[in-house]
Amino acid sequence: MNEALALRGVRKTYNAGRPNAVDVLRGVDLTIAAGEVVALVAPSGAGKSTLLHIAGLLDAPDDGQVVLGGTDMTRLGDRPRTLARRDLVGFVYQFHHLLPEFTALENIVLPQLAHGSSRREAEARALDLMDRVGVRPRAAHRPAALSGGEQQRVAFCRALANAPRLLLADEPTGNLDPETSDRVFDALMVLVRSTGLAALIATHNLQLAARMDRVLRLDGGHVVPA
């Protein structure tokens, strides 16, 4: 199996050594293959965001390994980890976090320019991604002129702009009404399937979770099949 992400014995405790210490992750083992879409479900406060932050190298575990693309990231220094996060991981959150002063197209182009792409290459890729999810006609509009569903689809395109190996999404449809949520999820699946990357998607929506390849549950600090 071509592993995109592997978490091995990952532990995370907040306020370690204090009376109010909280063991959020208690030895998480998780593997996601390239091309696989995995749902992560759990109640609020169970540690989903913590797990995603560790998987995406935004936070470090207290113990255990985070392996991306076959490389143990926990053995790397800060600079290599930052570059790995930039090159290997795309993030999508419940709120789109688009830059309001730039157009939809520019929001997808900018991370590519920071990555070293030419303006022409970046615009061509951005328009291709936007076309796949049906927002290319809105390329010249700023986020305030887009609907909530359109904003989130643009955020998906931005997350995939630099062709990461892994997509991490934290409640990506949680701020949308049910009908829009379905359309946005369909768009996300189009992008994931057409690019072949791995995706770990945290969601409260059990109907959407059931449409993914696997459903996992975070329970008592451990990841188990749902």
Question: How many other CB atoms sit within 10 Å of the CB of residue 12?
Answer: 23
Question: How many other CB atoms sit within 10 Å of the CB of residue 57?
Answer: 22
Residue 102 phi/psi, 5-degree rounding, is: -115, 155
Which DSSP state fits 42? Answer: -
Structure confidence at residue 28 (pLDDT): 94
Q: What is the mean pLDDT of each run of 10 residues along the chain (226 residues)?
A: 90 81 90 94 85 94 93 90 91 88 97 94 96 93 94 92 93 81 84 88 90 93 90
Structure confidence at residue 182 (pLDDT): 86
Can you identify the CATH homologous superfamily of domain 3-225?
A: P-loop containing nucleotide triphosphate hydrolases (3.40.50.300)
Q: Residue 64 region, left (φ>0) first, then alpha (ψ -120 to 50), else beta?
A: left
Structure confidence at residue 133 (pLDDT): 87
The three-state secondary structure class of 206 is helix
Structure confidence at residue 110 (pLDDT): 96
Instruction: Look up tokens 């946005």; give the residue.
Output: 184
Contacts (Cβ under 8 Å, ≥6 apart) of 56: 85, 89, 91, 166, 168
Q: How far apart are CA 37 and CA 166, in angstroms?
A: 10
